[in-house]
């Protein structure tokens, strides 16, 4: 956006937080899982109910990360073979965890003007820009895709078929499938740390400085 509409960003983030509290009361997104598509699908339903046009952001591969050997910071790498990954903080400020997912990672997103905002509860504590999302996933531009996400299964534009639910033909009942996958997440394990959204950090700065002047109530 040429001029950032901070009021709109604040409204988007309020919606995101409300949707998370309603859909995922046990904060399932904070626990290790392989069902990002389920979170994205259920959030897309909420966006559509709010009069928004939900899309999906797909990361198909993260680039390999190299860590300096002489740094006091320690990064623990997930031992599993994953395709997409992020580096999360830990309880120890000097240690970080590189965790990932197999095949891809997907999140619901919304286009507003020239900007795309990503609603990814698994990675961020709030709404983030597509650029920020791509950067924390350490992905090349060509490994990021934006697709439609027809909730009735009619959109066949996604690679390998499907409606943008996941990168395969649709399950017979996407809603039930998504809800069941969320229920299967083990919430007894240790929760993971979310990343702070730079967009929200900037929003808070604008509010403290009294620079949020827009009064738009439109989400689109």
Per-residue pLDDT for 156 more than 70?
A: no
Burial, 127: exposed, middle or buried (Cβ in 10 Å; 0-12, 13-18, 19+)?
A: buried
pLDDT confidence bin for 78, thresholds 50/70/90 = confident
**If we measure between CA atoms, which residue out of 9, 104, 26, 29 comes closest to residue 62?**
104
Q: Which of 5-19, 29-43, 147-161, 195-209 has the lowest mean pLDDT?
A: 147-161
149 within 8 A of 40, measured Cβ to Cβ: yes
Cα separation values, 58 from 44, 82, 111, 194, Å? 14, 15, 14, 19
| Mean pLDDT in residue range 142-149 | 89
CB contact set of 44 (below 8 Å; sequence gap of 6+): 54, 56, 108, 149, 151
- Percent of the chain exceeding pLDDT 90 equals 68
| Mean pLDDT in residue range 61-69 | 90
- Tokens 């066949």 locate to 156
Cα separation values, 163 from 8, 84, 130, 153, 188, Å? 28, 21, 21, 5, 32
For 30, the token pair is 């904070």
Per-residue pLDDT for 203 more than 80?
A: yes
What pLDDT digit, counting tens, does each position of 128-140 carry? Answer: 999 999 999 999 9
- What's the CA gap between 88 and 99, in Å, rounded? 7
What pLDDT digit, counting tens, does each position of 80-98 carry? Answer: 789 999 999 999 999 999 9
| Mean pLDDT in residue range 155-177 | 73
- What's the CA gap between 155 and 197, in Å, rounded? 31
pLDDT confidence bin for 216, thresholds 50/70/90 = very low
CATH architecture for segment(s) 6-208: Roll (3.10)
């Amino acid at each position: 956006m040429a001029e950032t509409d901070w009021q709109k960003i604040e409204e988007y983030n309020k919606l995101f937080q409300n949707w998370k509290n309603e859909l995922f009361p046990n904060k399932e997104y904070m626990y290790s899982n392989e069902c990002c598509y389920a979170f994205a699908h259920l959030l897309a339903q909420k966006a559509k109910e709010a009069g928004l046009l939900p899309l999906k952001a797909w990361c198909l591969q993260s680039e390999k990360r190299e860590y300096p050997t002489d740094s006091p910071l320690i990064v623990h790498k997930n031992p599993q073979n994953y395709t997409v990954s992020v580096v999360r903080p830990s309880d120890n400020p000097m240690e970080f965890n590189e965790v990932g997912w197999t095949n891809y990672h997907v999140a619901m997103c919304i286009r507003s003007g020239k900007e795309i905002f990503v609603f990814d509860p698994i990675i961020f504590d709030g709404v983030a820009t597509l650029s920020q999302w791509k950067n924390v996933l350490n992905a090349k531009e060509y490994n990021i895709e934006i697709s439609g996400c027809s909730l009735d299964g009619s959109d066949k534009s996604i690679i390998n078929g499907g409606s943008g639910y996941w990168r395969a033909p649709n399950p017979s009942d996407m809603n039930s499938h998504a809800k069941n996958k969320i229920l299967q997440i083990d919430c007894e394990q240790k929760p993971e740390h979310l990343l702070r959204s730079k967009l929200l950090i900037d929003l808070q700065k604008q509010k403290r400085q009294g620079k949020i002047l827009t009064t738009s109530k439109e989400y689109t």
